[in-house]
Structure 1
Amino acid sequence: MSVRLIVRTFSELCITVGALIILFVAYILFWTGVKAAGATEGQIDDLQNQWAHGAVTAPEPVPLPSASLLPADPKPSAPAPAPKAYRDGKPFAMLYIPRFGKDWEWPVLENTKVKTLQKGLGHYRGTAAAGATGNFAVAGHRRTYGDPFKDFPKLRPGDAVIVTDGTTWFTYRIDRKPYRTVPSDVGVIDPVPRKSGFDGPGRYLTLTTCEPEWGSSHRLIAWAHLDATQPVTDGKPAAFHS
């Protein structure tokens, strides 16, 4: 085989591999976002239809389950009695973080399975309901599938995290800058989350995402406490503008 043929074959192979890499990157950066946009809009439409007909998703009893952005089958170190949970895999709330922009809004679905997190944010089954005593814990992708938590490191103490279930606005306030930990640190979703600084029962919210930005070796955690509630009939909370 001539040197020219070897060089040409190698060059063609490099071009092919390069093209495949470009296609893969395009899928990660673009196509997953397109899929997430369509899926998310569908979940929001489902919620709006439910709420327009006065049908708020009713909780139903289920056992304590696993969480997917933490290790498989996590068990809080000091479990409370299993709370009632929302319908598995279904949207039940909308979550807003003004720090991330005025158009930032994502549906919250029940469970943190891979397919669920491709449609929006996921509620850790077995953690508290929105606004309830305990720890309302929510996971989301840092990158891909719409990049919901791309700006997670920008969260600061006092930032609002606003949740609505169609009847009530729940305004939580971030208590500290995001905390970096390892996936095995499942105490972050305890009823009184470990290392959060909270020293007793309360109405808390935990947000989790992957760290680093394009990896998953660690987790970023943000904790908040319930600051205010109001009926949706009173209009949007002032926290949207704070």
Structure 2
Amino acid sequence: MTVRLIVRTFSELCITVGTLIVLFVVYVLFWTGVKAAGATEGQIDTLQNQWAQGAVPGPTPDTGPGRGPTPAPGPGTAPAAPPPSKDREAYRGGKPFAMMYIPRFGTGWEWPVLENTEVRTLQKGLGHYSGTARLGDTGNFAVAGHRRTYGDPFKDFPKLRSGDAVVLTDGTTWFTYRIASRPYRTVPGDTAVIDPVPRKSGFDGPGRYLTLTTCEPEWGSSHRLIAWAHLDSTRPVTDGRPAAFHS
């Protein structure tokens, strides 16, 4: 009788633990994605409403003669741009201010970029490292995103290759960055990857750079994958989407 009771209790315990594991897997694989989809759509709606009301800084003038974009001469340089305006509105913590598109990840890949990299911020979209450069400015505009869970924005991160476009807009200007090399693997404490001139990026002086970061391995966080890019061109949104969307 005692043995039967022990076996029954152990069996029930195993069933309970198994059920909890299944529920956790469902939460990680499915429910966080559902939550992220709703939160991300909300952030995109917020941006579109702001832009429709003109609540963004004035457009960056075109970087070349005429109306078309002018490519940067090389990775260490960037299109000429006017000095940043001192009265531009500061990015607000946890609030969206730009949209990012990476054609390599598919035509439907679009994510809002919010200020800071707090846990709750990254549940709504991509997060801009506070203290790094503003979008399009001289320095390093650094952005983090989940590899898995909460919509899996950077699931395909390892597919990035040299020359791939990363396109962002603040509602007035398109900014096209070009990936410099394949993703670099490092540890979470390696903060030099988001320096104004990121260490080991291959960039040899001040410029207008972009750093993307995500977790490595795919379902872990013991390391980080890093991708660096340089600003290649800018274009007023009134001129339509840049050629990077069609290449």
Alignment correspondent of 2:39 = 39
User: What secondary structure is seen at the aligned counterpart in 2 of 1:115?
Assistant: helix
Deviation of 1:57 (Å): 6.5
Task: Output the amino acid matched with 1:236.
Answer: R
Match for residue 170 of structure 1 among 155, 175, 180: 175
Q: TM-score, normalised by structure 1?
A: 0.88
Deviation of 1:3 (Å): 2.1
Partners in 2 of 1:98 and 1:239 — Cα distance?
8
Deviation of 1:167 (Å): 0.2
Q: How does 1:42-191 map to 2 (within 5 A)?
A: 42-56=42-56, 85-191=90-196
Match for residue 218 of structure 2 among 213, 218, 225: 213
For the aligned residues, what is the CA RMSD? 1.4
Partners in 2 of 1:17 and 1:185 — Cα distance?
38
Alignment correspondent of 2:230 = 225
Q: CA-to-partner distance for each residue in 1:57-107, whole Å, 9 max, x for gaps?
A: 79xxxxxxxxxxxxxxxxxxxxxxxx9841111100000001011000000
Q: CA-to-partner distance for each residue in 1:132-162, whole Å, 9 max, x for gaps?
A: 1110000000111000000000000000000
Partners in 1 of 2:208 and 2:123 — Cα distance?
27
Partners in 1 of 2:196 and 2:143 — Cα distance?
13
Over 3 Å counting, the alpha-carbon distance change for 1:57 and 1:13 in structure 2 is: farther
Q: CA-to-partner distance for each residue in 1:207-235, whole Å, 9 max, x for gaps?
A: 00011111111000000000110000000
Alignment correspondent of 1:61 = none
1:57–1:87 contact (8 Å) kept in structure 2: no
User: What secondary structure is seen at the aligned counterpart in 1 of 2:203?
Assistant: coil
Deviation of 1:182 (Å): 0.6
Deviation of 1:5 (Å): 2.1
Work out the percentage of aligned pairs sharing the same amino acid: 85
Indicate the structure whose relative CO is greater, using CA pairs within 8 Å and at least 6 residues apart.
2
Partners in 2 of 1:15 and 1:127 — Cα distance?
49
